[in-house]
A = this chain, B = another copy of it.
Amino acid sequence: MNVIIDAFGGDNAPDALIQGLVWALETREDFNVILIGEETLLNSKLNKYKYDNKRIKIVNAREIITNNESPVEAIRIKKDSSIVVGLKLLNTSSDSDVFVSAGSTGAVLAGAVLLLKRLEGVSRPALAPVLPTVNGSSAILIDCGANSECKPEMLLQFGKMGSAYAKAIFGIKNPRLALLSNGVEAKKGTELIREAHKLFQVDENINFCGNVEARDILCGNYEVIVADGFSGNIALKACEGTALMMFSLIKKGIEKGGIRAKFGYLLLKPVLKKIKHTLDYNNQGGAVLLGLKKLVIKAHGSCEADAFKATILQAVSLNELKVTERISLELTGFSV
C-alpha cells in the first residue's frame, strides 16, 4: 500500500515531516510513500538521510496553500498545490488509500469534500480525533469541525461512523456512544440535539447511552461522543486550551517558587511528563476524516517529527484495519 503525504503541510514541514517519515519507514517495512511537493527541494532534504529509496516516490507540486487563504477558493485556484495534487492522486489511485496532511484544516476538509467520493449513505464526512481520558482509555469525538451546520440525520450518521471506527481501532464490540449537550436530560440542548437524541434512541444498531455534558467528555465512560462540528470544535479546543494553561501555570509557579519548588519539580518531572504525553493528542495520531471512500488524516499544524511518524504509522494501521470498509458496512446495516 501507499500512503500519500502532503510534504508541505504544517508549521514544521518539510524538515520535521521528512525526519518523521524516515523513522516511520524504519519502524515498518510493509508500506510505501508518495510524497507530494516541490521535487528538487524534497530530493535535497531526503539526501541527508539513509533510507530505501524504492519506498519513496516524489510527485511534484509547486504550490502551497496557507492558513490565511479561503479554503474553498484556494482548492479551486491552486491546482498545483500539495493538497490538491495529493487528493486528486488519492481519488484515482488503485493502490493508495490514505492521504496525510498537517496543512490548513479548512483546505484539507474542503479539498477532501470536493475532490473525493463519499461512501454510500453519507451526506457529509466528519472529523474524528481520538482523545485521551482520565482512566487511560480513549474516546472518539465526532464531528470536530468539518460541519458547522448540521441536521439531526447527519449526527446519526456521525454516530454510526464513530461506532464503526471505535470497533476497528479499539477492538471492541459495542462502543458506548453519547451525544454532546448542555445537560444529560433528553430535553436539554438545541432543537438539533433534541431531534438527534430521538433518532439515536430508536436506532438499534448503536449503543446509545444518552447525552453527555462537556465536563465528562474525558471521563472514560464513552468510546464515541457525537457533536455537531461547531460544538465539537469548541469542546476539543477548550480541553486543549485548559491543558496548555495548566502546564503554563505549573511552569510559572515553579519559576516563582524558589529552590523548594524547583527541587519538587525535578522529583515530580516523570509524573508530569507522562501526563503531558497522555494529554498531547498528537500522540494519538491525527484526526481522521470519516465518510469518504478513501481516508484523509489531518495531523496537527504544529506537528513535530515524532508526531509525523505516529501519524504516518496510524495511516498504515487504519488501512490494515479496513476502517473505510467497516464504516461502509455499518452505514448499510451489515456491520460485524
Contacts and interface: CB of A to CB of B under 8 A. Distances in A.
A242 B280 CA distance: 12
A187 B106 CA distance: 12
Interface of A: 70, 106, 133-134, 145, 148-149, 180, 182-183, 187-191, 193, 213-219, 229-231, 233-246, 248-250, 253-254, 257, 260-261, 263-272, 274-275, 278-279
A246 B243 contact: yes
A145 B235 CA distance: 15
Contacts of A180: 234
A215 B238 contact: yes
Taken together, the copies of this chain in the complex come to 2
A263 B263 CA distance: 10
16 contacts: A134-B245, A145-B182, A182-B229, A182-B233, A214-B233, A215-B237, A215-B238, A216-B241, A218-B245, A230-B231, A238-B238, A242-B243, A249-B278, A253-B272, A257-B268, A264-B269
Q: Is the interface of A mostly helix, strand, loop or mixed?
A: helix
Contacts of A249: 134, 275, 278-279
A168 to B, nearest CB: 26
A264 B265 contact: yes
Contacts of A274: 253
Given A253-B271, A264-B268, A265-B264, A217 B230 contact: no
A116 to B, nearest CB: 22
A272 B244 CA distance: 15
Contacts of A242: 218, 238-239, 242-243, 246
Given A182-B234, A246-B279, A267-B261, A241 B241 contact: no
A239 B241 CA distance: 8
B257 A241 contact: no
Given A238-B234, A242-B239, A264 B266 contact: yes
B134 A230 contact: no
Contacts of A191: 149
A278 to B, nearest CB: 7
Contacts of A235: 214, 234-235, 238
Contacts of A214: 233-238, 241
